[in-house]
Each structure stands twice: as C-alpha cells, then as structure tokens.
Amino acid sequence: MRLQPLLLTVDRISAAVGKLFAWLIVVLTGAICYEVFARYLFRAPTTWAFDVSYMLYGTLFMCAGAYTLSRNGHVRADFMYRLLPPRRQAALDLALYILFFFPAMLALVWFGWQFFEISFHQNERSAFSPEGPLIWPFKFVIPAVGVLMLLQGAAETARCVICLRQGHWPPKLSDVEEMEVLTIKRAAMLRAEGDAHP
C-alpha cells in the first residue's frame, strides 16, 4: 500500500501540532493561578488575565482538532456505527466527509482568512482590557487550523476509499486508547485463553 506512509505522515503532523499546542494548558493554568493569587491574596487583579485566558484556550481548542480527528476522537453517535461492517462504516464516513466536513473546512479557511486579514490590516487589539493585546495573531489560527483539518480530512477520506476496496480499515498511528477499548481487548484475550484451555 503506497499511500500508507503518506497517511501516517499526515497523522504525525496532526499529532505534532496537537501535542505542541497542548502545552498551552500549562501556560493557561499558570496564568489563571497567578490571577487568582494576585486578586485574592494581594488585592491586585491583573488587567490581562481575561484576554490571555480566552486567547490561549481558543488556540488550544482549535489546534487539537486535526489531532483529535486523526485519533477518531471527535464526538459521534456511534452506538450503531460500531455495529456496522467496515465497508459500511467507510461508506458512511466518506459521504459525511464529502457532504459536510469538506464544505465546512473550506468555509473555515476562506472566511477565517478574511477575518484574519481585516484584523491584521486594522492592527486589531482587544477591547476587553486596558493593555489591549494584539488579536490578529490569534485570528490567524483559524485559517491555519482549517488547512490542518483539510489535510487530515483528506487522509481520512483516503482511508475510507481504501477500506471500501479492501474491506478493512488501514492501520493508523495510535498513542492512546480509551479505557473501554482496552477493557474489550483484555476481555477478548481472556476469553481466547479460556477457550484454548478447556
């Protein structure tokens, strides 16, 4: 499968971006803790905490999107999806990517770029605090994340096509598994051991 290395490379890019920006949670936690201590212990609230918190949280939330997509981590009503054979899962996923995902991500890139461009040309600053930090760098995250999501979505679409042809899902990078999946695997392994030793 010649496409497999390329698909795994896209997964690695999404994982690298997601894991890099995940460190913003440490910065965000530090900023909020500092604000709480400054406000309640020293009676000297900061003027920047609100801006920092929503900018960092928004960036963190958006930059995790492609990584989450690469790990099938987005919320979906999958109680029936799990019961479908792989080819039907792939057909359903492919239809949803074409009908909803790609139009939404293209709109995110298109309108996100315009949103960023207007902000950049105005040198937009926040109106929520006296310092008024620059906002346009954070608005650039919107189209950038749209491009990352399109890249990962293209990889997922290719996986759907491969599954439709071969009848099984191609391998993906995995670095974490849900407890539910681990429990099911362990139960299957124990059942197989019990069947092997009557």
Task: Give the helix, strand, coil percentages of the chain, each rounded to 5.
Answer: 75, 0, 25
How confident is the model over 65-72, as a mean pLDDT? 91
Q: What pLDDT is attached to residue 52?
A: 87
Q: How many residues does the chain have?
A: 198
The pLDDT of residue 37 is above 80: yes
Using CB atoms within 10 Å of the CB of residue 178, give its burial: 0 to 12 exposed, 13 to 18 middle, 19+ buried.
exposed
Residue with tokens 């099984």: 168
How confident is the model over 192-198, as a mean pLDDT? 69
Confidence grade of residue 179 (pLDDT, cut at 50, 70, 90):
low
Q: Which residue has the higher pLDDT, 127 or 64?
A: 64
**Alpha-carbon span 97 to 160, nearest angstrom:** 10
CA 1 to chain centre: 26
How confident is the model over 15-24, as a mean pLDDT? 94
Q: What is the pLDDT of residues 129-164, one digit of tens each?
A: 777 888 999 999 999 999 999 999 999 999 999 999
How confident is the model over 79-86, as a mean pLDDT? 85
**In the chain, domain spans:** 4-196
- End-to-end Cα spacing for the chain: 40
**Alpha-carbon span 99 to 158, nearest angstrom:** 15
In degrees and rounded to multiples of 5, residue 75 shows phi and psi of: -65, 135
- Tell me the average pLDDT of the chain: 88
Q: What pLDDT is attached to residue 166?
A: 93
Neighbour-count burial for 17-30, b at 16+ CB within 10 Å, e otherwise: bbeebeebeeebee
Q: Which residue has the higher pLDDT, 29 or 78?
A: 29
Tell me the DSSP string of 75-95: ----TTGGGS-HHHHHHHHHH
Confidence grade of residue 45 (pLDDT, cut at 50, 70, 90):
confident
